């Protein structure tokens, strides 16, 4: 467990732990308090599980792209990425439920060349248009072979995106760049010549699942967003 991740959960972990301890202590004299001690303990266990952040082996290779999030691949489509690359890309969407690790990781090594927050609504993360309407934070990672866009998207429960990195920072593949609190979605945009190694329905783990293989050609990004 990393302190930074646990620190993000302090507003949930500390109150639930203290409540469980307090009502548990009271129940020692009168079992009537158990009806409060048990739910508080369950909330603490749920939050401790949610804010877990395991270390994982990171596959090597410039062409190898790892998953940016834990969850299930539930959409793959060709779309125009209008914010950063301004070209058609393959969008792969990962749905994270409340039991998944919610730390997001850099899919490739390189430099963060773009970071932009977008206010929006809080539709359920399974809604087909949540990636267009919900609050989101867009990132661009410029590597040796390609620039990949990653978009963190909130959901009905996940209403806080926490960035740990910033534009201009150099990162390694698998670097933890932020998290989304409670149920959400992460989209990754690939060049059209990318070979995807996942399909809809696959469960992936951020930082360790081999997600795609990039082509050898370098894909540049518009000069106006370079730092």
Core vs surface per residue 65-104: b (16+ CB within 10 A) or e? bbbbbbbebeeeeeeebebbbeeebbbbbbbbbeebbbbb
Q: How far is residue 51's CA from residue 55's CA, in Å, rounded to a whole number? A: 13
Closest CA to 176 of 62, 73, 53: 53
Task: Decide: 110 and 142 in contact? Cβ < 8 Å.
Answer: yes
Task: Give the DSSP per-residue string, 98-118.
Answer: TTS--EEE-SSSEEEEEEEEE
Q: Catalytic one among 16, 93, 165, 184?
A: 184
Active site residue 27: no
Active site residues: 184
């Amino acid at each position: 467990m990393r302190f930074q991740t646990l620190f993000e959960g302090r507003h949930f972990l500390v109150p639930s732990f203290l409540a469980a301890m307090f009502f548990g202590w009271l129940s020692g004299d009168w079992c009537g308090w158990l009806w409060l001690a048990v739910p508080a303990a369950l909330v603490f266990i749920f939050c401790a599980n949610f804010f877990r952040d395991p270390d994982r082996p990171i596959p090597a290779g410039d062409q190898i792209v790892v998953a940016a999030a834990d969850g299930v691949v539930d959409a793959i489509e060709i779309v125009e990425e209008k914010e950063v690359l301004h070209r058609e890309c393959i969008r792969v969407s990962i749905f994270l439920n409340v039991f998944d690790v919610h730390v997001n990781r850099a899919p490739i090594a390189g430099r963060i060349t773009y970071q932009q927050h977008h206010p929006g609504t809080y539709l359920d993360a399974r809604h087909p248009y949540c990636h267009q309407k919900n609050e989101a934070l867009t990132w661009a990672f410029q590597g040796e072979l390609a620039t990949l866009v990653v978009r963190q998207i909130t959901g009905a429960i996940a209403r806080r995106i926490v960035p740990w990195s910033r534009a201009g920072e150099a990162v390694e593949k698998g670097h933890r760049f932020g998290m989304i609190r409670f149920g959400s979605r992460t989209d990754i945009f690939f060049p059209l010549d990318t070979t995807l190694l996942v399909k809809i329905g696959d469960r992936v783990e951020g930082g360790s699942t081999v997600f795609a293989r990039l082509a050898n050609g370098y894909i540049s990004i518009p000069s106006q967003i370079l730092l």
